[in-house]
């Protein structure tokens, strides 16, 4: 069982309080290991030969409840699993659900390259970062090893994204593996019928492998156990994804039972990443729009609980945008608000007559204000106050948004506003109106109170800027 208290972790550490890890004491370091904000290797003394035994034991007792599996190589490597909790408020979820989109070996070459490029080039700006897709799943629809190999070769020439090679025929899988044996692809899948041959492939090519047993958890567990006994550890479990009705309810309950067994019951032989295949919705729906809709619904269910990787088909924005957005939200740390750096930002091409707006470093607030200003072509500066990622109203009430903090930015930021603008007027958010007088006193700048909603800044500008 994974250790969960700093005192237990402390037993394995050198206990010299040398401070090399950046923490004042070994106990403080132990607390950071539990929080997963530092790694064992950040304690360099423990890497010394004389602590080898302790290091190995600590690595074992600190391993995540759900095995961390790597797919692919280089900078696009995808990590799946690595989770320790059933509910994100208990700690956080760490490794996002890896979203793989399919291509198939009966596609024409031009269409194939176009789809692979669409997968690898997908970008959606969201709260300060770009959401992306993660992997390409190559399906054998021809059943022909040579055709599959040709398709795998073309895909791997087009992208460095990690790959899933999909076929139940070991000969087809091996033909694909021959093309990308150095790229650590995931094999999909070993079943009750082909498991011995697929296990041999996983050993020969040293690749992670998916074990698939739809609707039978006992078979799934027994296959996983056999693979572990053969020395194959990088295993992904696919308990089947039924796309609708009673079948969907059963699939959902299997994901929960497997994850509970891995985390709460410490069953290490099935504490493994889970795969869902929402593209089964395309088998149940003839109409493509309905199929894409249900695929998106099913993927949302399993992003929330507990798919670590999934194979999808619809590349329509009404599928990819909600899927990537939900995935991003579930895997943010619920204990820490999403923040941007504090300081002064120039928006557009401000000059000495441009307004200076003030806001907080809560990412949602900042990007809303920034977008309302930039999309209306208002060249300006934004003073971003460090409120620990809290929005304006709550930060005023909680004391994180104060005149002193506004002044701190004005006097210490890289961009010296006094040198940039030919006025001394700040525009405070309407929700911060009650600290306007004190802000004027502390900063020595004149204060204008802007609208409560940044969407009204353009209208407010017409009547209030430049100040009379």
DSSP-H helix ranges across 186-287: 195-205, 217-229, 245-263, 281-284
Of 146, 167, 148, 268, nearest to 210 by C-alpha is 167
Q: How many C-beta atoms lie closer than 10 Å to residue 56's C-beta?
A: 11
As given in the structure block, the two tokens for residue 446 are 């004149």
CB of 225 to ligand SF4, least distance (A): 37
CB of 47 to ligand SF4, least distance (A): 10
3-class secondary-structure state, position 182 = coil
CB of 29 to ligand SF4, least distance (A): 4
Number of Cα atoms under 13 Å in the Cβ half of residue 1: 9
CB of 34 to ligand SF4, least distance (A): 13
Q: Is the CB of 53 or the CB of 459 nearer to ligand SF4?
A: 53
CB of 30 to ligand SF4, least distance (A): 7
Instruction: Supply the Cα-derived Rg of the chain in whole angstroms.
Output: 27
Q: Is the CB of 20 or the CB of 440 nearer to ligand SF4?
A: 20
Q: Is the CB of 8 or the CB of 453 nearer to ligand SF4?
A: 8
Interface residues with ligand SF4 (CB under 6 A) are 13-14, 16-21, 23, 26, 29, 43, 45-46
Q: Kindly give, in sequence order, each residue whose CB lies less than 8 Å from that of residue 218, ignoring residues fewer than 6 positions away.
A: none
Of 247, 252, 246, nearest to 274 by C-alpha is 252
Q: Is the CB of 20 or the CB of 379 nearer to ligand SF4?
A: 20
CB of 4 to ligand SF4, least distance (A): 18
Q: Is the CB of 19 or the CB of 459 nearer to ligand SF4?
A: 19
CB of 91 to ligand SF4, least distance (A): 21
Residue whose structure tokens are 């295993």: 235
Q: Is the CB of 17 or the CB of 132 nearer to ligand SF4?
A: 17
Of 413, 463, 423, nearest to 447 by C-alpha is 423
Residue whose structure tokens are 């082909």: 194
Task: Let me know: does 98 contact 328? Beta carbons within 8 Å.
Answer: no
As given in the structure block, the two tokens for residue 179 are 């093309």
CB of 32 to ligand SF4, least distance (A): 9
String of DSSP letters for 96-112: PPEEEEEEETTS-HHHH
Q: Is the CB of 32 or the CB of 194 nearer to ligand SF4?
A: 32
Q: H helices then E strands: how many in the chain?
A: 18, 17
CB of 7 to ligand SF4, least distance (A): 14
Q: Is the CB of 25 or the CB of 181 nearer to ligand SF4?
A: 25
Q: Is the CB of 12 or the CB of 188 nearer to ligand SF4?
A: 12
Q: How far apart are CA 268 and CA 74, in angstroms?
A: 28
Q: How far apart are CA 86 and CA 378, in angstroms?
A: 46
Length of the chain: 468
């Amino acid at each position: 069982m994974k250790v969960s208290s700093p005192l237990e972790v402390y037993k394995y550490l050198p206990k010299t309080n040398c401070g090399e890890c950046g923490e004042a004491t070994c106990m403080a370091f132990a607390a950071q290991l539990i929080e997963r904000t530092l790694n064992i290797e950040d304690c360099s003394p423990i890497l010394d030969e004389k602590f080898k035994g302790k290091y190995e034991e600590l690595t074992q007792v600190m391993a995540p409840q759900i095995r961390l599996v790597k797919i692919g190589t280089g900078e696009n490597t995808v990590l799946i699993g690595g989770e320790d909790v059933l509910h994100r408020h208990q700690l956080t979820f760490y490794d996002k659900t890896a979203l793989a989109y399919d291509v198939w070996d009966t596609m024409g070459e031009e269409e194939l390259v176009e789809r692979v490029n669409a997968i690898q080039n997908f970008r959606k700006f969201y709260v300060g970062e770009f959401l992306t897709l993660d992997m390409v799943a190559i399906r054998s629809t021809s059943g022909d090893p040579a055709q599959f190999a040709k398709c795998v070769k073309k895909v791997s020439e087009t992208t460095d994204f990690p790959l899933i090679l999909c076929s139940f025929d070991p000969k087809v899988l091996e033909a694909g593996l021959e093309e990308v044996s150095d790229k650590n692809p995931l094999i999909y899948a070993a079943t009750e019928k082909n498991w011995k041959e697929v296990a041999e492939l996983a050993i020969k090519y040293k690749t992670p492998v998916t074990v698939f047993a739809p609707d039978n958890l006992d078979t799934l567990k027994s296959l996983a156990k056999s693979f572990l006994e053969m020395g194959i550890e990088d295993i992904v479990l696919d308990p089947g994804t039924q796309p609708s009705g009673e079948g969907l309810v059963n699939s959902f309950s299997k994901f929960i039972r497997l994850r509970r067994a891995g985390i709460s019951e410490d069953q290490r032989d099935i504490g493994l990443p889970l795969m869902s295949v929402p593209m089964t919705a395309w088998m149940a729906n003839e109409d493509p729009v309905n199929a894409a809709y249900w695929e998106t619904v099913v993927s949302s269910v399993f992003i929330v609980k507990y798919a670590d990787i999934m194979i999808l088909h619809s590349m329509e924005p009404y599928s990819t945008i909600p899927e990537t957005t939900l995935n991003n939200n579930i895997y943010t740390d619920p204990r820490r608000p999403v923040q941007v750096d504090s300081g002064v930002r120039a928006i557009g091409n401000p000059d000495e007559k441009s307004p200076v707006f003030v806001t907080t470093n809560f990412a949602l607030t900042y990007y809303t204000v920034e977008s309302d200003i930039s999309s209306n072509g208002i060249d300006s500066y934004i003073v971003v106050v460090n409120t620990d990622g809290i929005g304006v109203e709550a930060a005023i009430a909680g004391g994180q948004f104060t005149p002193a903090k506004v002044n701190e930015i004005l006097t210490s930021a890289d961009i010296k506003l006094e040198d940039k603008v030919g006025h001394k007027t700040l525009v405070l958010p309407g929700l911060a109106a009650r600290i306007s007088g004190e802000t004027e006193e502390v900063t020595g700048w004149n204060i204008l109170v802007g609208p409560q909603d940044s969407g009204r800044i353009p209208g407010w500008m017409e009547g209030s800027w430049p100040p009379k």
